[in-house]
Structure 1
Amino acid sequence: MSGYHSSGLGSLFDQHDQTGGFQADHSTPRTSLTATAASSTARQHTTSSYEEEEEDDLDDTTETGPLLHQAPSRPGGHIAIDLGEDLVGGRIPQRTPAEYKTITRELVNGNLILDVPVPTQVSQYSSLTGQHEFDYMRYSAATCDPDDFKKSGFSLRQQLYDPPRVTELFIVITMYNEDQELLYRTLHGVFQNITNLNKRKDATWDDESWKKVVVCIVSDGRFKANVGSLCAIAALGAYQSAVPVTTVNDENVVAHIFEYSTQVPISVIAPTSTRDDEKGVPPIQIIFCLKEQNQKKINSHRWFFNAFGPILLPEVCVLLDVGTMPGPTSIYHLWKAFDMNPGVAGACGEIVAMKGTYGENLVNPLVAAQNFEYKMANILDKPLESVLGYITVLPGAFSAYRYTALQNDELGEGPLQKYFMGDLQAGQTTDIFTANMYLAEDRVLCWELVSKRKSAYILHYVKSAYAETDLPEFISQRRRWLNGSFFAAVHSIWHFNYIYRSTHTFARKFWIHVEMAYQLYNLLFSWFALGNYYIAFVILSTSLEFLAPSIGSFNVFLKYVYIGLLIMSFLLALGNKPQASRWMYMIAFLGFGCLTMASFIVAYQGLKFDGTDDGPLIVRIFTNSVARDIVISLLSTYGLYIISSLIALDPWHMVTSFVQYLLIAPSYIMILNVYAFANIHDISWGTKTEVVDKDPNQAVPGKNKNEVKLRLPTEKEELDRAYDDAIFVLKAKPIVVDQKPDPTHSEDFFKTIRTNVLLAWVLSNALLASTISSKIPTVESVQLGTDKNSSGYFTFILYSIAMLALIRFIGSSMYMFVWMFGNTAIEFLSSARA
């Protein structure tokens, strides 16, 4: 192992100079828990206790203070933990900082940085003992903005080795208040991928590949974090709840950074798991960034990219959400896309809905419909956009970026500057368009990468990479997605001229223009979807009266039900949060599903019993223009779905989820679109911030300018006891924090804009629907000779849908052709390079 230079960091124990590979650099200030004024006698302590210095001007009581929760003792003399409601987030239940002795520590460049020994239980899993990174956890109390992290004198362990370690992959896992089961799932997938990289033998990866991979977990708010997840990270040795301080020399700490290279098996943090495939997992370099306040996911990414990125200078950055589990080799396949093509700035794989054991989750029609939607997006949309070079969105739950491609130019403008604009403007007055656009900041980032000045970057879809994830809360999440994607799409189309500042070839610019035209067409269709669906419904219902007049009264009833459900959707969207109206929304979904089913039944019955003997049903279909156009449109659309799924070698969703999607599809327009446009004033996606209560542990000024006094445990047994407590919590029932609706923006200005946009959307769709509906022929108009014709517009809608599906199918087929026949060449080139 390469030598480790402490840069002023000492051990908590007096035997630190004997740890293998660790070389204390005494030329810089020491920030270990070794007291600077300790006597030579004090340095004779054994490794079972910290060296300490009591201060006269602070309470130095050593008596055991009250525990957070008193409960009967459990075997072994440890304290049983009472998992009360007040422990859903925050600290692992253990002793309070007020119980520890006060000690003095020196600062490094004005920053509090400590090397803390890991508990004995963590050390027992280490096969590489006697090395500093496995025996000590490093803690840094950041009092600066993430953009100032490096220039404020902070560093990371990877830069302290001799020579400094090269980071090829930098993986971030963003966390809010998810429980340990979701964290376990993600870490399990990440650990599997690092193990796979460590077993590879090529020009980049070998049996020490783990040194080239750093896993960064960023938790959004210390007192919002789930206690079970904190216990899981503590079980890995990358967190100790007694260490964080809230102030350093009266400056508020904004983030707590813990660094540790763990060898603890992942099964330790999931005691109920029966997995045994963690054997042979190499050490995992972990950075755990615990933000003091909840400041949203985009701020967590700013810590990752702007604070830690400039220090590690990684080649590829991988983004994951807690709960998303990448496939065992998926991260390697993402990295391979960057390695084989230096022009790739970003890449993503397939997001797979978690279907449960034997697909049991598909029993829920909402899960099945979303599963179908995800599958078709990954079979048709992502491949088409990948072929054209511009993927409109790389999902934040599982995607990767080339770090150098993200960097801003010399003027400070570029992809990261645009990406973090929403975070930097948090709390400031901004226009509603920008606020909604930054609900989908990943879409903004994708456009900025492709159109980056003096660059020719493309985005790529990697079919062989996938990640499983739980489906999010449906309506509220879709509101953010729909509003964010709509305004981001308007932004990219309006600024399509940005593509000319890039150095793309003429051919690439041409195809990006083709894609922008395609996106514009889709945008217009989404705007008028409400009116077009009503027109299609009315034309279908009215035309059937010619075939079977007896069902005319039933069609009128269906129209009233349709309008009633639509009004109900508007009232719910304007007056209620989905969480408060679950049953009403369920009725609306069920109503539109039944309406769709009834329409199909009525259509079939109308064609089957039309009172004529003109031949078989297929003949009657093609002798009726409306029926013929509907059948051709449906066959061309869903027929292409089936064919493209077969070509992609993934057709099972057509069997398990197609019918559910078909029944819920109208609700995507009538409920989700209505809710989205009715709530564009709500920009609460990640814009919440709060002030939390101060923790009693603070690093206050010491006697000297470069010293601070703080309370820390002074016995190693206390660390071991805290570790036992964490394991005890993990064995208990997972602690789940109730999700509360996000507060909405209450300014009248935003609500006024919401009203204007909603009126424009509703009135434009109503005008279209009324204009076309007035030209729909009825039985009476035909009998009176005043027939009006609207079949032309209806035919336009149907064939436009078929045309859009055909474009997606062509793009998907081209991608599959390249993927199938190109992989052989890629593997050949890869082996040749190795």
Structure 2
Amino acid sequence: MSSDQRRGEPSSRWSDGSIFRGISKWLQKTKLTNDGKFVKDCPVIELLNFDNKFRVDGFRELTHMRYTACTSKPDNFKSDSFSLRQKEFNRRRIEILIAVTMYDEDKTQLSRTLCGIAKNINSLCSREDGTWIKNEGWKKVVVCIVSDGRKKISQSALEYLSALGVYQEGIAVESIIDRKVEAHIFEYTTRIPLENSDIIVPIQILFCLKEKNTKKINSHRWIFNAFSPILEPKICVLIDVGTKPGSNAIYNLWETFELHPKVAGACGEIVAMKGRGWYKLLNPIVSAQNFEYKISNILDKPLEHVLGYITVLPGAFSAYRYDALVNTDDYESPLASYFKDEAYDSKPIANGSFSFIKNTYRNIKSVFAANMYLAEDRILCFELFTKRDRDWLLYYNKSSQAETDVPEEISGFISQRRRWLNGSFFASIYAVFHFNNIWKSNHSRARKIFFIIQIIYQAFNLLFSWFALGNFYLTFHILCNTLANPQDLIPLPWDPSIGETIFIILRWVYFILVTGQFIFSMSNKPQSSKWVYYISLLCFAIIMGYTFFAGSWLTVNGFIYEIIPNIKNHGSIAIFYNDIFWDIVLPLLSTFVMYFVASIIMRDFLHMILCIIQYIFLIPFYVNVLNVYAFCNVNDVRETDEVHQLDKIVISDEGEIYQVPFSQPKNKNEQQDTGQANTNIHQRNKYNDRKMIEESRKVFRACFVLFWLFSNALLIFYVIAFVGTTLEQNFSQRSRTSIYIAVILWSVAGLSAFRFFGCITYIFKYILIPWYSSFSSS
């Protein structure tokens, strides 16, 4: 056996991957390593040349792509003696592992992400300090692309990877002798040309094509439990395909960990992709999402940064310190908790005593875990911050920006928000009910108190989101009903009968729309019912417009006919005793002023001018469509997919090893019939178990939605029956309806004030003070 064959490299006779013509058209002779692993080096056509200033260790890094058929689970990758090509290169200390997770994205999204990464690696190659050596920075970075399922990956994405030399068609195998292949691993150092630059920077790419679709959290298991123990990176940067990191964004994240040893995780600012000339903002769906992203980056993330615990480091662009993830003591590591419920056990229990109760509990637990891990990044953040005997922190670095594409069509928007809403809801419940984990950490007493305050804030948000359906309807009902009834001091814009007719029509339209959301959410996918959701969006926007008009009319005329005369009679203090001013004007004005001030201080306020109107008009769509669709699909937990067969590696009777295509005909009909019968029985039992699980999940979904709907309906009934539905203009006594409106609007203002306080603290502590210190020293 030649030296090439001992290293798992094919001899030149078989390196072209052609069919072994000497035996038959069905067989291809293949070489295995001494420990039975299928590792194959395949030559790559040279399309681009390196700049001479980039030194490469060994010619095979450029000329050959290595394929490994991994038959191991990710947790056993290292213990089963699987390795990566980077370990063969001397003195390559990996600083950054960039993990790119993908599903079915096309080549446009993939190329956008890889080009952004290439620009960042090129920037690293231009640095020269203690860690980064000029023109050698690319050796400290590995880009790991993990695709979730061979059946799901886009063909155009595979063609793009083939053009880069990272992937080759026709060399992957399904099994090695009697062991199934779990993942197909391709390794190659490629080159990606940069726009407006003659420099072609080398990029070490590790492409892991999983055999089955086992969800994003399993992709993270491959990254953290399989590849990271081999590469031992300092930080792991997570990027979703379609996200384009900005200039120096990856270096800025790395620098955060370098300057702050207690930081376990960090994220940058996620920016919605607006297109050239910001033409995408003409789409109200994109505008509303852009407003959400901006407000989150201006108010939410700074607040959480000040408190030390960021509830979610966005999977689209974030980074983790690898040493903080792994186990360094006798206790369970954050990764162990993170992956604990990935393969949740939902197999039915055999008949016996209390079998129904046990099955019900197990299925509730499995549905809860499945939805919770739709927001797997929230779970990991919680586990890191509350890690036993440690005091890890989570940071937000505003200077590190990444641009991501947002859904532009209503069907994609609804599908995305289903995952986000269900994931964040169940993950938040997990964090609230496990808040006592903080006492086992080594955080200071002040930090623990801040965490408890943050958990209370999170619990209040949960309660507010649970009753959002009822609260929004009541706000619409009270404001529009007030406009439909004559007032003593405030005139109506039309005859009272017209206002009452408009209110009755809109109320019935509202009822029909909400009822339709429940019907369509439980029986149709957004892709097949786009026209229903577009009509709903338009109708809810009209309802929101009329509600906004009613509130504005009451506010403006309240000033003219109620507040100003009372100020003349009782002094300026009389303004604080007026229901309209206190219950509507002041909380709403305070909220918008805080939004504007925070945006101006952060030097990012165009969204307040260009996108706030679109967001306001889409608020009822968020509440009545997105929430309903999300909760009506808590049972939508897809299992792994079956995929078509690939070639197999077998051993003949003479002991020779062959690669057998899946289409090889079988000669033993009796064995074929027996095997087919056994397969049918196995599939039938598997189908029955799966059907039972799906039915139990639908029962859970029905009970969950019924309880949610009943609690909101009970709130609406109580307010309408016992509180009232009309705002009364009473200078001396506040009505119950005014108190209810005040509670709702002041709750919104209070939450905004809490976030605004965090924003101001972040600006002074982490922006102005460091800037002043550096200015004074200079």
Q: After superposition, give the CA deviation of every residue in 1:427-466 in whole Å (9 maximum; x if it has no partner).
A: 6564222222122111111111111111111111110111
Q: Could you tell me which residue of structure 1 aligns to residue 406 of structure 2?
A: 471
Name the structure 2 match of 1:34. Answer: 11
Secondary structure of 1:162 counterpart: coil
Q: Secondary structure at the match of 2:266?
A: strand
1:543 touches 1:626 (CA, 8 Å); kept in 2? no
The amino acid that maps onto 1:490 is I
Residue 421 of structure 2 aligns with an amino acid whose one-letter code is L
Structure 2 match to 1:709: 658
- Give the letter for the 1:769 counterpart: I
Following TM superposition, by how much is the alpha carbon of 1:266 offset from its aligned partner in structure 2, in angstroms? 3.6
Question: In the alignment, residue 302 of structure 1 is paired with which amino acid?
Answer: R
1:790 Cα deviation from its structure 2 partner: 2.6
- Secondary structure in structure 2 of the residue aligned to 1:105: coil
Change (3 A) 1:655 1:611: closer
Q: Comparing 794-803 with 647-656, which one deviates more in the overlay?
A: 794-803
Q: Could you tell which deviates more after superposition, 202-211 or 449-458? A: 202-211
What is the aligned partner in structure 2 of residue 457 from structure 1? Answer: 392
Q: Residue type of the partner of 2:260? A: N
Q: Cα deviations across residues 595-635 of structure 1 (Å, max 9, x unaligned)? A: 11112223444566789866879989958513542111111
CA gap 1:530/1:809 in 2 versus in 1, 3 angstroms: same
The answer for the alignment partner of 2:622 in structure 1 is: 668
| 1:528-543 superposed matches below 5 A | 528-543=467-482
Q: Which amino acid aligns with 1:655?
A: I
1:692 equivalent in alignment to 2:643: yes
Query: Whole-Å Cα distance in 2 between the matches of residues 768 and 162 of structure 1?
Result: 67
Taking structure 1 as reference, are residues 209 and 612 closer, same or farther at Cα in structure 2, changes over 3 Å only?
Answer: closer
Deviations 1:283-325 (A, max 9, x none): 1111111122222222211111111111111100001111110
Match of 1:401 among 300, 320, 325: 320
Q: Tell me the SS of whatever aligns to 1:467.
A: strand
| Cα separation, partners in 2 of 1:342 and 1:326, compared to 1, 3 Å | same
Q: Which amino acid aligns with 1:31?
A: G
Query: Which stretch shifts more, 627-636 or 169-178?
Result: 627-636
* Partner AA of 2:739 in structure 1: G
2:133 alignment counterpart = 206
**Which of 99, 106, 110 matches 1:172?**
99
SS at match of 2:173: coil
Given residue 413 of structure 1, which amino acid in structure 2 is its aligned partner? E
1:20-56 residue CA offsets vs partner (Å, 9 max, x unmatched): xxxxxxxxx3322128xxxxxx8xxxxx976999697
Tell me the equivalent position of 2:353. Answer: none
Structure 1 unaligned blocks of 5 or more:
1-7, 13-28, 36-41, 43-47, 62-97, 268-274, 713-742
Instruction: Report how far residue 710 of structure 1 moved.
Output: 3.4
Matched, 1:318 2:237: yes
Write the distance in 1 (CA, Å) between the matches of 2:49 and 2:265: 38
1:702 shift after superposition? 5.9
Preserved CA contact (<8 Å) 2:727 2:737: no
Q: Distance in 2 between matches of 1:504 and 1:780?
A: 49
The question of whether the paired residues in 2 share the 8 Å contact of 1:347 and 1:460 is answered with yes
On the 8 A contact 1:548/1:611 being kept in 2, the answer is no
- Asked whether the 8 Å contact 2:555–2:584 carries over to 1, the reply is no
Aligned counterparts of 2:335 and 2:396: Cα–Cα separation in 1? 21
SS of match in other structure, 1:349:
strand
1:71 — aligned with what? none
Match of 2:437 in 1: 498
Equivalents in 2 of 1:361, 1:344: separation in Å? 36
| Residue aligning to 2:523 | 575
Distance across 1 between alignment mates of 2:564 and 2:3:
89
- Mapped pair 1:793 → 2:740: yes
Q: Aligned partner of 2:629: which letter?
A: Y
How far does the alpha carbon of each residue in 1:398-447 deviate from its partner, in whole angstroms, 9 at most, with x for none?
11101111113656732112222343327656422222212211111111
After TM superposition, give the deviation of residue 748 of structure 1 in Å: 2.3
**C-alpha separation between the residues in 1 aligned to 2:400 and 2:565?**
46
- The structure carrying a bigger helix percent of its residues is 2
Q: Quick one: distance in 2 between partners of 1:491 and 1:286?
A: 36
Q: 1:781 to 1:415 in 2, by over 3 A?
A: closer
Q: CA deviation at 1:541?
A: 2.5
* 1:513 match: 452
Deviation at 1:711, TM superposition (A): 7.9
Say whether the 8 Å CA contact 2:302–2:758 is kept in structure 1: yes
Aligned pair partner of 1:107 in 12, 33, 36: 33
Separation (CA, whole Å) in 1 of partners of 2:214 and 2:242: 20
Take 2:332 and 2:111, find their aligned partners in 1: how far apart are those partners?
A: 38
Q: Decide whether the 8 Å contact of 2:479 with 2:726 is kept in 1.
A: no
Distance 1:700 1:671 in 2: 54
Change (3 A) 1:182 1:611: closer
Residue 119 of structure 2, aligned match among 158, 169, 192 = 192
Matches within 5 A, 1:238-637: 238-262=166-190, 264-266=191-193, 275-277=195-197, 279-408=198-327, 413-425=332-344, 428=347, 430=363, 431=365, 432-472=367-407, 473-544=412-483, 545=485, 546=487, 547-548=490-491, 550-551=495-496, 552-553=499-500, 554-605=502-553, 624-626=578-580, 628-637=582-591
What TM-score do you get using the length of structure 2 for normalisation? 0.84
- Say yes or no: does 1:815 pair with 2:762: yes
Q: How many angstroms apart in 1 are the aligned matches of 2:474 and 2:728?
A: 18
CA distance in 1, matches of 2:17, 2:699: 63
Paired residue type of 1:579: Q
The 3-state SS of whatever aligns with 2:301 is helix
In structure 1, C-alpha distance between the alignment counterparts of 2:637 and 2:707, rounded to whole Å: 20
In structure 2, distance between residues paired with 1:318 and 1:10: 37
The whole-number CA distance in structure 2 between the counterparts of 1:645 and 1:348 is: 20
Give me the whole-angstrom Cα distance separating, in 2, the residues matched to 1:744 and 1:346. Answer: 40
For residues 306-350 of structure 1, the C-alpha deviation after alignment (integer angstroms, 9 at most, x for no partner) is 111111111000011111100021111111111111111111111
Distance 1:108 1:633, change over 3 A: farther
Task: For structure 2, list consecutive stretches of 5 or more residues without a partner in the other structure.
Answer: 348-361, 569-573, 662-689
Partner of 2:109: 182
Measured against aligned partners, the alpha-carbon deviations of 1:185-234 in whole angstroms (never above 9, x if no partner) come to: 00000001111111112221121111110001112222332222112112
Shift of residue 557 of structure 1? 3.3
Alignment partners' CA distance in 1, 2:181 and 2:36: 13
Contact 2:579 2:729 in 1 (8 A): no
Deviation, structure 1 residue 239: 1.5
Residue number in structure 2 paired with 1:772: 719
Counterpart code for 1:811: G
Residue from 599, 623, 631 that aligns with 1:645: 599
- 1:509-550 superposed Cα distances (whole Å, 9 cap, x missing partner): 111111111111111111111222222222222333323453
2:670 is matched with: none
Q: Alpha-carbon deviation of 1:383? A: 0.9
The residue number in structure 2 matching 1:131 is 59
| 421-430 vs 343-352, which moves further | 421-430
Deviations 1:733-761 (A, max 9, x none): xxxxxxxxxx9997222222222222222
Residue 683 of structure 1, CA deviation: 2.4
| Post-superposition offset of 1:120 | 3.5
Deviation at 1:103, TM superposition (A): 3.2
**Cα distance in 2, alignment partners of residues 480 and 311 from structure 1:** 32
Summarize the Cα distance change of 1:222–1:556 in structure 2 as closer, same or farther, 3 Å threshold: closer
SS in 2 for 1:211: helix
State the percentage of identical aligned residues. 44
Tell me how far apart the structure 2 counterparts of residues 422 and 449 of structure 1 sit (CA, whole Å): 17
Name the amino acid aligned to 1:471.
V
Give, in angstroms, the shift of residue 773 of structure 1: 2.1
Query: Quick one: distance in 2 between partners of 1:202 and 1:161?
Result: 22
Give RMSD over aligned pairs: 3.3
